[in-house]
Structure 1
Amino acid sequence: MARRRQAVTIKHVAADAGVSLQTVSRVINNEANVRPEMRERVQDSIRKLGYVPSLAAQRMSGSRSYLILAINDRDRTIEDWRARQGTDWVDQMLLGGMLKCAEHGYRMIFELVDTHSDHVERELLGAIAALQPDGIILTPPHSDNAQIVALLHHQRIPFVRIGSIQNGAGIPVSMDDEGSASQATQYLIDRGHRRIGFISGSRDYALSGWRVNGWKAAMAAAGLDYEGLLAEGDFSYASGEAAARQLLEAPMRPTAIIASNDQMALATLEVARLLQIAVPDELSLISFDNTPLVHFTQPPLTAVDQPIAATTSKAVELIIAAQKGDQVTPELTVVSATITERESVAPPPGNSGA
């Protein structure tokens, strides 16, 4: 029976380099207070021995866990996973967060928490006790949950609130939902549209209201009336169907619609097909999110491309900086979205466009 190969440990590296365990730990953790020649000696031993740093070794200093905990909304995440409808919020979070963590020798752990649960404090405290994270990333609607924010503030753990524009406890990071909705509205106005409908998202998410505000602001700035052009959804496909029918079956239907997420945009596209309203010749359509599904619709959908990966990456940077004692401003950090142009927008009927 073959003998199991003995794992190389931090002790082997220290012995080979002729330095203390603390010195090896400081090199592994990329700390500044190590002389260049000492750092090079330790790195030579790491390469020679094939040592792979473990979290246990990284934690030797006792001040950091090298774990960042990202928390997402349980019910909606599980619903999206089970529906298998191509939403990739979690994928993009992992892309941005894990890559940035890897640059700094950290790991990102992903947890689902029900923000409406009576046991939310117990769930969070249990996760914190088990993982001892160096920082926590909150996503909507947790970002503006006063109970969660107060709990983390009391625990004195650095935390970032993605999708929040509120200053105060924690570090707010916004994807500029209001500005993105305004930008999408102006995009349609510039192409000649005057009756632009908007399908809002769930009231559980503060960002839903910010997007409505952005749409209204752009309409008002252009001197356009938005009365009767707002329909409420909840980010689900079914709610998008109902909202689209409300707008498209009205006596004065809009010539363009902005939907607050891709699922509701897909529902709007289907309702338009059933009502024999051609997209984009008779109806222009813009979505939020830019998930994989909208690339392959007929026509492919123009969409607000939310910078989820870049925002999560920025959140990791801010947490690591705070953990290291760097000065982190509590003021709002904004990671701006862009519009990805495809084939679902055209000038309105009877208008040749700008």
Structure 2
Amino acid sequence: MGVTIKNVAKEAGVAASTVSRVISDSPQISDATKRKVRKVMEDMGFYINQNARNLVQQSTKTIGIVMKNSISESLNDPFFPEVLRGISAWCHKQDFSISLTTGDSNEEIFEDTVKMVQGKRVDGIIVLYSKQDDKVVPYLTECGFPFVVIGRPLTNAGEITYIDNDNVKAARDAAEYLIDMGHERLGFIGGSLEFEVNKYRLQGFKEAVLLNNLKLAEDYIKNPKTAESVRQAVYELMDMDNPPTGLVVTDDLIALNALIVLREKNIKVPDHVSIISFNNTQLTNFTNPTLTSVDTQIFQLGYESARCLIEEIKDPSQFKKQIIIPTIIVERKSTLPLNSRENI
């Protein structure tokens, strides 16, 4: 016969109701008592029927993750495995699982979200992006369903819990890093401006150029949406009569594509053009040259989003939080002062 709650209670010297409250992690039980009872449970080989516990609590102990793109496309971007690692780290501590949207299109991803909510498959949701004309965040807001956004929501930001970097400041710092190296002709290669992160990084870039009394040339600014359009953007920038000597690129994956095109054109980095990118993913140490990159602390973005969401699930009366994760520039081999570079 298996070990029962009564057996555990007798061994621990507490009431059976106390053991039940420990199992449900009741705040009415002190941490010392919880530790004692859990130690007895472990020693006696008593294992919680998690499914039964969740049914009683009307909880799935699962967090839904809404991907930016199809799961195959997202997981090819080194940002997403790292942010999922951060989310998983906190979920593991809280005995939560995660469930990912699997749709290939925006509509399918939205449908996955609706199924998660209406099917009561998850207790809360983390949205891994913020963008214009998004259906997911308005739907979750209207439902009153617990959720957190990674990225600053473009509307009603004060009423939503979100985790983000100060992307305006981060991009301003990145541009000024090149300006301080003597670069005055700066180019910008971003991504689709429907996404908050690209919009604010472009804003920061423009601010740095204007604050340093440099010319803000719109033809030095490119916002490609695909790998092929990144290629086109690099060709257009570097084929100009006065090409930029420094490039601010909004993420490491785009920067990798840019490096490939520059190599094809026999343009040396950083001897002919310096590049600074964003996110400081694992790619930065494997490119040639290694990439100077703004560390956005991706793991921490995920970790804090999971922490905030699970806190809200446990206590829905909490105030909405807006948490800004600091950034720092990690210098590598893709940048060089202007007076140190080779002449083209």
TM over 0.5: yes
CA deviation after TM superposition for structure 1 residue 337, in Å: 2.3
Please state whether the residue corresponding to 1:339 is helix, strand or coil: strand
Is 1:70 the counterpart of 2:50 in the alignment?
no
Contact 1:244–1:267 (CA under 8 A) maintained in structure 2: no
1:189 corresponds, among 175, 179, 195, to 179
2:83 corresponds, among 90, 93, 96, to 93
Contact 1:55–1:66 (CA under 8 A) maintained in structure 2: no
Measured at CA, do residues 58 and 12 of structure 1 come closer, stay the same or move farther in structure 2, by a change above 3 Å? farther
Give 1:291-330 correspondences, 5 Å limit. Answer: 291-325=281-315, 328-330=318-320
2:128 corresponds, among 131, 139, 146, to 139
CA distance in 2, matches of 1:32, 1:271: 58
TM-score under structure 2 length normalisation? 0.87
Aligned to 1:125: 114
Contact 1:196–1:254 (CA under 8 A) maintained in structure 2: yes
Please state whether the residue corresponding to 1:311 is helix, strand or coil: helix
Please state whether the residue corresponding to 2:188 is helix, strand or coil: strand
With 220-229 and 50-59 compared, the bigger mean Cα shift is at 50-59
Please state whether the residue corresponding to 1:251 is helix, strand or coil: coil
CA deviation after TM superposition for structure 1 residue 57, in Å: 4.8
CA distance in 2, matches of 1:31, 1:245: 62
Which amino acid in 2 is paired with 1:233?
A: P
CA deviation after TM superposition for structure 1 residue 105, in Å: 2.8
Structure 2: 5+ residue runs without aligned partners? none
Give 1:238-257 correspondences, 5 Å limit. Answer: 238-257=228-247
CA distance in 2, matches of 1:11, 1:135: 34
1:24 corresponds, among 19, 35, 53, to 19
CA distance in 2, matches of 1:345, 1:37: 54
Structure 1: 5+ residue runs without aligned partners? 1-5
Aligned to 2:224: 233
CA deviation after TM superposition for structure 1 residue 28, in Å: 3.4
Measured at CA, do residues 27 and 130 of structure 1 come closer, stay the same or move farther in structure 2, by a change above 3 Å? same
CA distance in 2, matches of 1:111, 1:22: 39
CA deviation after TM superposition for structure 1 residue 289, in Å: 2.5
Contact 1:200–1:259 (CA under 8 A) maintained in structure 2: yes
Which amino acid in 1 is paired with 2:303?
A: S
CA distance in 2, matches of 1:7, 1:96: 37
CA distance in 2, matches of 1:11, 1:131: 32
Aligned to 1:3: none
Measured at CA, do residues 53 and 204 of structure 1 come closer, stay the same or move farther in structure 2, by a change above 3 Å? farther
CA distance in 1, matches of 2:277, 2:122: 35
Question: How large is the Cα RMSD of the aligned pairs?
Answer: 2.9
With 340-349 and 128-137 compared, the bigger mean Cα shift is at 128-137
TM-score under structure 1 length normalisation? 0.84
Measured at CA, do residues 40 and 174 of structure 1 come closer, stay the same or move farther in structure 2, by a change above 3 Å? closer
Please state whether the residue corresponding to 1:137 is helix, strand or coil: strand
CA distance in 1, matches of 2:19, 2:55: 10
Please state whether the residue corresponding to 2:106 is helix, strand or coil: coil
Measured at CA, do residues 107 and 29 of structure 1 come closer, stay the same or move farther in structure 2, by a change above 3 Å? farther
With 143-152 and 194-203 compared, the bigger mean Cα shift is at 143-152
CA distance in 2, matches of 1:78, 1:158: 26
Please state whether the residue corresponding to 2:67 is helix, strand or coil: strand
Please state whether the residue corresponding to 2:248 is helix, strand or coil: strand
CA deviation after TM superposition for structure 1 residue 107, in Å: 2.3
Measured at CA, do residues 21 and 206 of structure 1 come closer, stay the same or move farther in structure 2, by a change above 3 Å? farther
Aligned length, in residue pairs: 339
Calculate percent identity across the aligned residue pairs: 27
CA distance in 1, matches of 2:233, 2:3: 61
Aligned to 1:79: 73
Is 1:205 the counterpart of 2:200 in the alignment?
no
Aligned to 2:334: 344
